[in-house]
């Protein structure tokens, strides 16, 4: 995932706050000037305190809002080379820069689970048969089979197509070919001969990362005690 966070910080251990250290040439000149001024003020304010450089560890992070929302509060891990710290970045208003606080602690390795959108999948297949209708029991069996097929997919084996804009913890991937073939085979046991052409067309049209069979990989970070 591409997270909008800084990577190097000047940390004040006395106050528990951080200030990003921007690398020259990485950001636009006008923004760099503003952030250099912020850094200079921070360094001067904490000159007599216990300060150190912290470096962000990895790309794992958590956000309480969608990635595109600048008001989102970000949580990630950093280190000074000896100890691990949890960093929390937030802003009070859109006009103000994000401020960062830190405390000793670690984020556990992220766990992932693979999901599908049951409601949209059920509605989409039902709509495929309009003006006819599918029996609710068949829709239930279909959703159950999809869940069973998806439950055997290792999240780390999926090729992520993009991150979900509405949920910072979710990435979207295409259903692997072998899983799709298994789903096709098992669906033949659910649907009657007259239903199968519509079902197979629905599955074929929705197997991509932008279709209703798209897999949603939800990643969860757990904060460990310090």
What is the block-wise mean pLDDT of the chain (226 residues), using blocks of 10 residues?
A: 65 95 49 68 94 88 78 91 93 91 85 91 95 94 97 92 82 95 97 96 96 91 59
Residue 226, in any domain of the structure: no
pLDDT at position 69, please? 83
Residue 3, in any domain of the structure: no
Residue 2, in any domain of the structure: no
Q: Check whether residue 165 and residue 207 sit in a common domain.
A: yes
Alpha-carbon gap, residue 57 to 77, rounded angstroms: 6
Which among 110, 64, 52, 118 has a CA at the least distance from the CA of 88?
A: 64
pLDDT at position 109, please? 65
**Cis? peptide before 131, omega within 30° of 0:** yes
Q: Can you give the residue range of the structural domain that contains 67?
A: 8-106
pLDDT at position 170, please? 87
Q: Which of these three, 90, 106, 122, is where a domain ends? A: 106
Residue 102, in any domain of the structure: yes
pLDDT at position 60, please? 72
Q: Which of these three, 76, 106, 136, is where a domain ends? A: 106
Under a CB-based contact definition with an 8 Å cutoff, are residues 15 and 48 in contact? Answer: no
Q: Check whether residue 121 and residue 216 sit in a common domain.
A: yes
Q: Do strands 8-12 and 51-63 pair parallel, antiparallel, or not at all (unpaired)?
A: antiparallel
Overall pTM > 0.75: no
pLDDT at position 39, please? 87
Residues whose CB is less than 8 angstroms from the CB of residue 57 and which lie 6 or more positions away in sequence, other chains included:
76, 77, 78, 79, 84
Q: Check whether residue 98 and residue 37 sit in a common domain.
A: yes
Q: Which of these three, 106, 141, 162, is where a domain ends? A: 106
CA atoms 72, 24, 80, 53: torsion sign: negative
Would you state the torsion angle of the CA atoms of residues 130, 134, 136, 139, taken in this order, to the nearest 10 degrees? -100
Q: Check whether residue 48 and residue 116 sit in a common domain.
A: no
pLDDT at position 27, please? 43
Q: Check whether residue 150 and residue 51 sit in a common domain.
A: no
Q: Check whether residue 48 and residue 135 sit in a common domain.
A: no
Residue 38, in any domain of the structure: yes
Alpha-carbon gap, residue 19 to 140, rounded angstroms: 53
Q: Check whether residue 90 and residue 128 sit in a common domain.
A: no
Residue 99, in any domain of the structure: yes
How many structural domains is the chain composed of?
2
pLDDT at position 67, please? 66
Q: Check whether residue 158 and residue 209 sit in a common domain.
A: yes
Q: Check whether residue 94 and residue 144 sit in a common domain.
A: no
């Amino acid at each position: 995932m591409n997270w909008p966070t800084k990577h190097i910080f000047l940390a004040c251990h006395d106050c528990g706050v951080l200030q990003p250290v921007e690398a020259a040439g990485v950001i636009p000149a006008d923004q760099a000037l503003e952030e250099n001024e912020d850094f200079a003020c921070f360094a001067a304010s904490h000159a007599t305190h216990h300060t150190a450089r912290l470096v962000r560890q990895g790309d794992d992070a958590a956000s309480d809002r969608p990635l595109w929302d600048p008001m989102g509060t970000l949580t990630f891990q950093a280190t000074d080379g000896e100890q691990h710290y949890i960093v929390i970045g937030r802003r009070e208003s859109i006009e103000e820069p994000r401020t960062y606080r830190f405390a000793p602690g670690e984020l556990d390795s992220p766990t992932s689970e693979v999901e599908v959108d049951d409601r949209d999948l059920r509605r989409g297949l039902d709509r495929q048969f309009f003006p006819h209708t599918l029996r609710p029991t068949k829709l239930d069996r279909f959703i159950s089979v999809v869940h069973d097929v998806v439950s055997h997919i290792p999240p780390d084996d999926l090729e992520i197509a993009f991150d979900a804009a509405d949920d910072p913890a979710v990435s979207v991937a295409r259903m692997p070919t072998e899983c799709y073939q298994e789903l096709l085979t098992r669906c033949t046991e659910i649907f009657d001969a007259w239903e199968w052409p519509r079902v197979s067309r629905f599955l074929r049209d929705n197997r991509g990362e932008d279709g209703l069979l798209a897999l949603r990989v939800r990643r969860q970070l757990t904060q460990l005690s310090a």
